Amino acid sequence: MKEAAGGFDSHALPPNPRPAARWRPAAFGWWLALLALHSIPRSGLLSLPGGEELVNSTVYDKFAHAAMFGVLGLLNARAFPGVGAAGLVAAGVAYGGALEVLQGLAVRGRSGSLEDLACDAAGVTLGVLLARRGGRRPEGSVQSK
Say which amino acid occupies 61. D
**Backbone angle region of 109, left / alpha / beta, with phi > 0 → left and psi within -120 to 50 → alpha:** left
Q: How far apart are CA 107 and CA 42, in angstroms?
A: 8
Q: How far apart are CA 127 and CA 109, in angstroms?
A: 30
pLDDT per position as a tens digit, 35-89: 999 998 888 888 888 888 777 778 888 999 999 999 999 999 999 999 999 999 9
The pLDDT score that the predictor gives to residue 141 is 37
| pTM metric for this prediction | 0.76
Stretch 114-142: mean pLDDT: 81
The pLDDT score that the predictor gives to residue 110 is 85
The pLDDT score that the predictor gives to residue 15 is 57
The pLDDT score that the predictor gives to residue 76 is 96
The pLDDT score that the predictor gives to residue 53 is 78
Stretch 108-124: mean pLDDT: 92
Pairing of strands 3-4, 7-8: antiparallel
Residue 102, helix vs strand vs coil: helix
Any alpha helices (H) in 13-113, and if so which ranges?
A: 17-38, 42-47, 51-56, 58-79, 85-106
How large a percentage of the chain has pLDDT more than 90?
53
Phi, psi of 134 (to 5 degrees): -65, -20
Contact indicator for 46, 55 with CB cutoff of 8 Å: yes
The pLDDT score that the predictor gives to residue 143 is 45
The pLDDT score that the predictor gives to residue 7 is 54
Q: How far apart are CA 79 and CA 140, in angstroms?
A: 27
The pLDDT score that the predictor gives to residue 1 is 46
Position 5 pLDDT exceeds 90 = no
Q: How far apart are CA 5 and CA 83, in angstroms?
A: 29
The pLDDT score that the predictor gives to residue 86 is 97
Q: How far apart are CA 2 and CA 9, in angstroms?
A: 6
